[in-house]
Structure 1
Amino acid sequence: MRFTPSILGKLVEPINRRRFQTIVDSHDGDAYDKSFKSWDHLMVLIYAQLSGAEGLRSLEVGWNANSQHHYHLGSDRLSRSTLSDANRRRPIGVFAETFALIANQLDRHMRREGTAMLRLIDSTPIPLGKACGWAKSNGRIRGMKLHVVYGPNSDCPRVLDITDANVNDAQVGRTISIEKGATYVFDKGYCHYGWWTAIATAKAFFVTRPKSNMGLKVLRNRPIKATQGDGFTILDDAEVSLVSKSQCKLPIRLRRLVVERQDGEAIILLTNDLKRSAVEIANLDKGRWQIELLFRWIKQHLKIRKFLGNNDNAIRLQLFAAMIAYALLRIVARACRIAMPILRFTDLVTRCLFERRNIAAIDKPPPVNPRQPKPRPSPNQITFTYE
């Protein structure tokens, strides 16, 4: 009889065990936890993300209740004290590099040939409770920040860093590896002239919004071929230069667009792209809402509001596990050609984690085994007839 893996087993198949072990060895990830290895840790935290376990006790009970499936996952039973120790001590780099491995695989699965490389950059706050007294505040929230580079064409998120809440976005932005020919779209929080110059030097492009105190001098006005876009109107298009003592830090040609929205609000866009039309550039900025939808989906369907530990290391591990679970869901949905919306697919996965069924037909009832004998009524059993 052909073996059918559980839904969870099928979900984690894209993780290459050999490459994962190479990552573990490079970080000496199993140095302190010989009985609870990095692979066990990863499986448990992915299960915690998808099952919605509220704490260590419920996670332990739910995981151990399905011990008959652990063998095929390459894992074993769980003790909450062991998990707590691993959350505190296991190197974050193990999960961070594993996510990068999965994200690259997701990008290969979902890349569309001929589409421009578009990268949306933003961060979302992760508020932490009073139990995390060590967490720093940025004046609005006390907690951490999740920084993401997102490719909307391939639906591929890339975690850049998990930082304290008071870390400036531009400081993280400067660590991004710039891809030639790519277009980076971000808000005014990523204002850093040296980084903008590096993007232009690498023959890439950026679209952003300048800060209100940024002095700009108009060099020449550009003709506007089309003024109407989807929900906005182009009011002005001009080439500009920076007017300040910092001009030497931004020695590149810039383009300023003034765009009026349907509600009458006018916004200013700044870019180094001199070839795209004004409408195309305005559409790129409008498309930034897609990364906001990503953040909303993650916060609603993954477990990043309540954590399985109050220390910095445990929270970072859980955030990376959440992003790994997100990427695995996308890879499997693509590989199995799931036609249903990803929200419904995720809901079905969370309800059938340890069921042995075809994940491509997860929305259909399992087939009846024809070899299974039908129950025969006993001659001593009273038979009821409905008329």
Structure 2
Amino acid sequence: VTRGKSNLKVQRRYSHPLDRTTGLICDQTVVLTGFYSHKGFEAPLRRIRFKDSATDKTLIFLTNNFTLPAFTIIELYRCRWQVELFFKWIKQHLRIKAFFGTSENAVKSHIWIAVSVYVLVAIVKKRLRLSTTLYEMLQILSLTMFERIPLDQLLAQAALEDIDPISDKQLILFEYRWDTTATNCILINSKTSLSVQARNSAR
């Protein structure tokens, strides 16, 4: 569904019956006749003209959907931002980067499967009383998909994991002291007796 300009060149093929008392002016099947617009889209379109009583403006809508009622088309355009937010939510939360197919059945099946997985993970989160976010849980499951670990153990272990402690072999500044009695200054670890020779600096 999109808005049409007032100077858009079209040829009417059929006029659908409508109730003009509702604000609808016309509901037509048209084809684009402009030089560039006709090359860009040759298939028939549906043009709906509607007068908004609140703003007293005449609006033109174009769509390739010929089955929905005219008012539904108008409402779809009015709610277009919510539709955009819905698809944004799908991409962010359902982890759908691209659809496996382009047919209506393929898209619907893909979305419903992703929604089912999301709901199941939300149920698991509630029953196990985990503080991990749903996004983190889905990430964990995607990385451990083929591991034979009980789900409760896997998620509980991931929730308890913290940053790895610093390795004993890693140099820690405050565990070293300077030995200035040597010819060259030496750093000595008080725990491991590991020493690091340093060059004398000019004073």
TM over 0.5: no
Q: Which has the higher contact order (CA 8 A, sep 6+)?
A: 1
- Max Rg structure: 2
Give the structure-1-normalised TM-score. 0.20
